[in-house]
Each structure stands twice: as structure tokens, then as C-alpha cells.
Amino acid sequence: RPKHATRGGLGAAAARRQGWPVGDMAPKEEECVRKHLKVFAGGLPFRPRTDEVGNHFARYGHVVNCSIVEPKDADQSNPAKNAPYAFVTYRFAADADCAVVDTQHFPGVSRPLAMGFATPRRKDKHDRDTKENFLNDKEPYKVFVGGISERDSEEEVGDFFSQWGLVALVYRDRGSWGFVHFATREGAMRLLDEGSVVFQRRKLEIKASESKRAMDDGERHDLVKRAITRHFHKKSMGMAPPPAPGPPGAPPGGGYPPAPGYYGAPPPSGYYGAPPPGYPPSGYPPPAGYPPPAGYPPPPAYGG
């Protein structure tokens, strides 16, 4: 039977004492799978501890839940199938994307972990397949955005769309349209699921890219690596207190609240998903300063 843990291997009572969401307050598993917030990590060492796995993946962002599954029947002919695996649920989409696309070296195993998103149930899988049909075959990570203006910087646009996934590149035309390239196809599907979004009090048109030119694999790989570095850099900046609210009666800042179906609380400007009050949660503290993995380039601007 799978070893399921309510955060760090603790039970519901202990989780409540820590202030973690449990029961009806905890995110629904089906919803997390549908929104691609639950990731799969295969190839763990023998008898891994839930807190070790949770701590490892908390470097990318707020981990809501972590569970470990031990294989029921050992297959001596294929030792790889005997390896335990884990499901890690994130609160924010960009954190989940970053964990999936980054190379995961876990203590005790020589090979990188096999990463992916949790597989939905049959009905949800049909819905997912239907959504994937709307993606561009050549550029499934690319989404057309209409309604942006010349005064919107790539940084502002990239931070805004990071609500739906890890942004690798923002391209703007001189007109009022552009493209957002996500690091995963799941990021594109999350955004396309919205239909339209409001940014700086303007309703933006969202649709799958119709581009017939696919990005070179080498170029895409480099952009994703830069996006991972930028993700860590943004998080190190995001640990600072959010901007102070304006005077009483002042209008809210543009761009937020986001469209319905948003994957977590609105992040402050310049951050890829705001940590909730009291972050980091006890049991899953992120490494100090969120240092990027060794060998990654310095944090650039979007697509820089």
C-alpha cells in the first residue's frame, strides 16, 4: 500500500498544529492533477524518507503535499521497476514546471530522477487530450497574446503569465500582440484553459499559436535553463515583504486579481508565485537564498 503523508509524514492532527491545510481545506487531489500541480518523481533510493523528498523539492517553491509509493512486487529482472517513486504537489504552477524541467539529482541514486506530471483519471485524461489538440504541433509551448501595449515590458508580461507556468520567453511585436513561450506544454494548457485574462485592466486575447516554425531544440534548451535560473533569482527577491498597500480608497494595482481559475494567491509584481504567510512551512524549508544549480547562467531577462 502506498505510504501517503500529509506533509512531511505527519498525520492530520500534527499538520493542523503546524498550520498546514488538511481535510476540506487541503487542495483536492483531482483538481491538483487537472491543473498540473502534482508532479511525479521516479527512481528514488531504497526506503526514502518523506521529509527528505519534500525538502528536496521545496527548493522550487511551496510544497503542499508529498507522498511516497513503494513497489508492491519486486521484479528482479528489472531493478529499475523496484525503485520507489513520489508524488509532490505544489501550490504554484511555475514551481511545478521548474521541478519537472530541471535535472533532479537525488542523494543515494546515480541517475537523475524521472520527472513528469501526474497522470489524470480516464475522464480527465480525455479532457486533457482534447485541450492538447488545440496546441500547435510544432510549438506546443507557445501561446499567442493579443492586447498588450508598448509600455508593457517583457519583465511585467513574463511575471504576469508566470501565474500559469514557468515562462521561458516573451516576444512582443511593435503592435499590440506577442507570444509567451512556456517551459512546458502544461503551462500553455493552463493558460489556454482560461480563454482570456485581464492584465493592467485590459482584457487580453489568448489563443494557441499558429506559428509554422518550430524553435530549435538547442535554443529551447538554453531558454529553459535560463528560465530555471530566473525562477531561483525571483524567489530570492520574493522573500522580501510585499509592497505596502496604497492609501484608503486607492484603486488596486493593475493586473491583479487574475482571471478565475488562478493557481494560488496573487503574487506581488516581479515574483513567480507569492509564498503564503508564514512561508516557508515547517518541515520543508527552502535552501537559504534559493541558489541556482551549479553550472547555470546568471539570471537574465525573459529570453535574454
Model confidence over 113-128: pLDDT tens digits?
Answer: 999 999 887 655 545 5
Helix (H, G, I), strand (E, B) or coil at 90: strand
pLDDT above 90 covers what percent of the chain?
41
Residue segments in the chain with a per-residue pLDDT below the cut of 70: 1-27, 73-81, 122-138, 239-304
Do 269 and 152 contact (CB within 8 A), yes or no?
A: no
The Cα–Cα gap between 280 and 63 comes to 9
Specify the pLDDT at position 237: 77
Ramachandran assignment for 208, one of left (phi > 0), alpha (psi -120 to 50 degrees), beta (any other):
beta
Specify the pLDDT at position 74: 56
Specify the pLDDT at position 135: 66
Number of H helices, E strands in the chain: 8, 9
Please give the model's pTM, rounded to 2 decimal places: 0.69
Specify the pLDDT at position 263: 36
Domains and CATH numbers, the chain: 12-119 (3.30.70.330), 122-240 (3.30.70.330)
The Cα–Cα gap between 157 and 103 comes to 27
**Phi and psi angles of residue 168, each rounded to the nearest 5 degrees, phi first:** -100, -30
Contacts by 104-109, CB closer than 8 A, 24 or more apart: 104/41, 104/56, 106/41, 106/43, 106/44, 106/45, 106/53, 106/56, 107/45, 107/52, 108/44, 108/45, 108/46, 108/48, 109/43, 109/44, 109/45, 109/83
Structure-block grid coordinates of residue 123: 475522464
Report the candidate in 303, 279, 295 with the shortest Cα–Cα distance to residue 91: 279
Q: Is 171 exposed, middle or buried (0-12, 13-18, 19+ CB in 10 A)?
A: middle
Q: Is 246 exposed, middle or buried (0-12, 13-18, 19+ CB in 10 A)?
A: exposed
Do 140 and 103 contact (CB within 8 A), yes or no?
A: no
